Amino acid sequence: MKKSIILASVVFACSSVFGAGDTDLLDQAKKAGLKPIPQSKLEVLKLVDNPKNPITDCKVELGKKLYFDPRLSKSGIISCNTCHNLAMGGVDGVGAAIGHKWTPNPAHLNSPTVYNSVLNKAQFWDGRDPHLEAQAQGPVQAGPEMAAPKGLVLDRVTSMPDYVAEFKKAYGPDVKITFELITDTIAVFERTLITPSRFDAFMHGKTSALTKEEKTGLKVFIDKGCASCHNDIGLGGTMMPFDASKYDLNVGGFTGTKDGMVKTPTLRNIEETAPYFHNGNVWSLGQAVKLMGDIQLGMKLTDKETSQIVTFLKSLTGKKPEISYPQLPVITEKTPKPDMN
């Protein structure tokens, strides 16, 4: 089976002229732990692939269909894309995720973006699993989300001959379709959802990729210590101490792990993923930056510094992979009916 080469990647030409300030800033960014998405598609594939279930074109296409298919939910109306809308920065644009029977998340947890989630070292706000494959299993079964038991999902998928044929095409004629394989295949698709940005071009040496104002913002971002948590390729995605109650942001009662750790969200495409924080309680990116200065850095950021950081953050908005809405397999008389209860 052919390895997929459809991963979003941009080959950036390096600038031949480096100003002293640009060189210093680039070195400073690297020393702060900031890293770019690789330039070549091959290196991107090495970064995001799962050796236990290698990415192929067939798996990606099948995973995309499953990702968009609301019939994986108990009600038959909620898909992965409902809360992680690929047309809206990979989020749902509401404070708390809404699931089965119009139920808000009981801890008022906000839906994190699915874009670049493969770069996270931890999945879920409490970081309970590092793998996208395990993450894909959670929302499908969770009562306030898709509320579908494993058996129901399996029965729905295997009742449609076109899905069975696609699994055989992707995994071989003797494949045994299981709930875990279904969600693993969704994760294969999600692994391709990376979004290289102008920031990555800058980090690869194309210093003209960022404006003067964005470079100033990057320097403030580093100097103020933002990169101590938002670093590496994902600019986030690791577990960090976070006092969720300090500024009355603990709507819903979530306070992280027993040690007070919360997953640091990625800053990639951050201007597209409001509202912010684990509980979606802050709608302004500038306000979120100021609060992080208070909560995490112990300092009062000025309006000017806040604006400069926000200007830099907007350079992290990346190029999305082109995704066409799939035509889904037809149900049969054996397909379990939607259940709204």
Whether residue 58 is annotated as binding a ligand: the answer is no
In a domain, 81, yes or no: yes
Q: Which band of pLDDT confidence, cut at 50, 70 and 90, is reported for residue 245?
A: confident
Percent of the chain with pLDDT over 90: 88
Domain edge (last residue) among 138, 165, 190: 190
What element of type H or E holds 285? Answer: helix 285-292
Whether residue 80 is annotated as binding a ligand: the answer is yes
In a domain, 139, yes or no: yes
Whether residue 229 is annotated as binding a ligand: the answer is yes
CATH of the domain at 59: 1.10.760.10
* pLDDT above 80: residue 309: yes
The DSSP result for 61-86, as a single string, is: HHHHHHHH-GGGSSSS---HHHHSBT
pLDDT tens-digit series, residues 165-197: 999 999 999 999 999 999 999 999 999 999 999
Least confident among 107-111, 250-254, 334-338? 250-254
Q: Which band of pLDDT confidence, cut at 50, 70 and 90, is reported for residue 21?
A: confident
pLDDT at residue number 251: 80
Check whether residue 57 and residue 32 sit in a common domain.
no
Strands 98-99 and 239-241 turn out to be unpaired
pLDDT at residue number 243: 81
Q: Which residue in 144, 135, 73, 75 sits closest to 106, CA to CA?
A: 144
Q: Which band of pLDDT confidence, cut at 50, 70 and 90, is reported for residue 248?
A: low
- Write the Ramachandran bin of 129: left for phi over 0, alpha for psi from -120 to 50, otherwise beta: beta
Average pLDDT, the chain: 93
pLDDT at residue number 11: 43
Active site residue 145: yes
Check whether residue 185 and residue 219 sit in a common domain.
no
Whether residue 226 is annotated as binding a ligand: the answer is yes
Check whether residue 186 and residue 50 sit in a common domain.
yes
pLDDT at residue number 14: 44
Check whether residue 213 and residue 289 sit in a common domain.
yes
pLDDT tens-digit series, residues 273-303: 999 999 999 999 999 999 999 989 999 999 9
Question: Among residues 145, 166, 272, 305, which one is catalytic?
Answer: 145
pLDDT at residue number 286: 98
